[in-house]
């Protein structure tokens, strides 16, 4: 029995998109899925299932940060049998990315201690499913969507006043967000496929940002790449 997802058995598809914002989940369902039905509204973390190109697909809001996505990813994998989970979210960009570029995450580093507490003080280095990654990159090339492929980093602090940003830049991290590391780690734990595709919604040097309306409604390129990768 899931505590945070009020779906009945069979109501969630084996393929699921995971935006942080529940309103983006609603937007994706209304704009991409045929005959979507809502299966969850617990804590207003909306979840929907419909069809895309003849296949069942779900979309579930996860909230912000590793602890929040950790709750939803764990329950989706453990209680509902989700096989493919793709995060579609926003991120802060680092050079050479530009505003609204798509970043397809090969791996996700972190400053969090969640993995160490969960896995016996090990430094887990979680990576994306190569199958999903390859499909997403191929789709981006075919559609001529501006994209980058490489490492991102998931931080615990949104308002981070430490010098960690400089360290991430030296390592060639492409974008900063708060969720992908935990998604990749749980996918490894449950032997499932996971991928994170994020859009640069603002630049970490303060040189540009998107509107709250853009962030709420999602960015079409990353959603379409996610669907292309999953099917």
All structural domains of the chain with their residue ranges: 15-230
Domain 15-230 grouped into CATH 3.40.50.2000: no
Residue 202 annotated to the active site? yes
Residue 96: cis peptide before it, omega within 30 degrees of 0: yes
- Rounded Cα–Cα distance for residues 167 and 169 (Å): 5
The count of C-alpha atoms lying within 13 angstroms of the C-alpha of 228, restricted to the half-sphere facing its C-beta, is: 19
Cα dihedral 75, 4, 109, 144 sign: positive
**pTM, rounded to two decimals:** 0.96
Task: Kindly give the confidence (pLDDT) of every residue in the chain, 231 residues in length, as a single tens digit, with 9 standing for 90 and above.
Answer: 689 999 999 999 999 999 999 999 999 999 999 999 999 999 999 999 999 999 999 999 999 999 999 999 999 999 999 999 999 999 999 999 999 999 999 999 999 999 888 888 998 889 999 999 999 999 999 999 999 999 999 999 999 988 889 999 999 999 999 999 999 999 999 999 999 999 999 999 999 998 887 776 668 999 999 999 999
Tell me what pLDDT residue 212 has: 80
Token pair, residue 128, equals 């994306």
- Rounded Cα–Cα distance for residues 58 and 56 (Å): 7
Burial of 1 (0-12, 13-18, 19+ CB in 10 A): exposed
3-class DSSP state for residue 144? coil
User: Which of 121, 160, 202, 205 does the annotation list as catalytic?
Assistant: 202
| 23 alpha-carbon distance from chain centroid | 15
Token pair, residue 74, equals 């764990």
Which residues does 182 contact at the CB level (< 8 Å), separation at least 6? Answer: 66, 67, 69, 70, 73, 110, 112, 114, 115, 154
Q: Which residue has 């991928």 as its token pair? A: 195
Residue in 96, 89, 84 with CA at minimum distance from that of residue 133 = 84
Q: Are 9 and 86 in contact (CB under 8 A)?
A: no
φ/ψ of residue 98, rounded to 5:
-125, 165
Token pair, residue 220, equals 């079409």
């Amino acid at each position: 029995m899931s505590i945070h997802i009020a779906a009945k058995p069979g109501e969630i598809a084996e393929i699921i998109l995971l935006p942080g914002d529940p309103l983006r989940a609603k937007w994706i369902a209304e704009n991409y899925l045929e005959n979507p039905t809502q299966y969850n509204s617990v804590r207003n973390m909306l979840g929907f299932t419909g069809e895309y190109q003849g296949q069942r697909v779900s979309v579930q809001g996860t909230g912000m940060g590793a602890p929040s996505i950790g709750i939803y990813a764990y329950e989706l994998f453990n209680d509902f049998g989700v096989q493919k989970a793709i995060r579609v979210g926003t991120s802060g960009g680092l050079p050479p990315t530009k505003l609204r570029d798509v970043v397809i995450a090969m791996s996700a580093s972190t400053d969090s201690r969640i993995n160490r507490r969960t896995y016996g003080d090990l430094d887990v280095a979680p990576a994306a499913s190569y199958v999903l990654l390859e499909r997403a990159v191929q789709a981006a090339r075919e559609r001529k969507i501006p994209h980058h492929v490489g490492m991102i980093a998931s931080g615990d602090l949104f308002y981070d006043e430490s010098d960690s940003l400089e360290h991430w830049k030296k390592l060639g991290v492409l974008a900063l967000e708060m969720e992908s590391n935990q998604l990749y780690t749980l996918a490894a734990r449950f032997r499932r496929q996971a991928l994170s595709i994020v859009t640069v919604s603002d630049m970490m040097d303060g040189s540009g940002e998107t509107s709250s309306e853009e962030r709420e409604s999602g960015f079409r390129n990353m959603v379409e790449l996610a669907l292309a990768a999953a099917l």
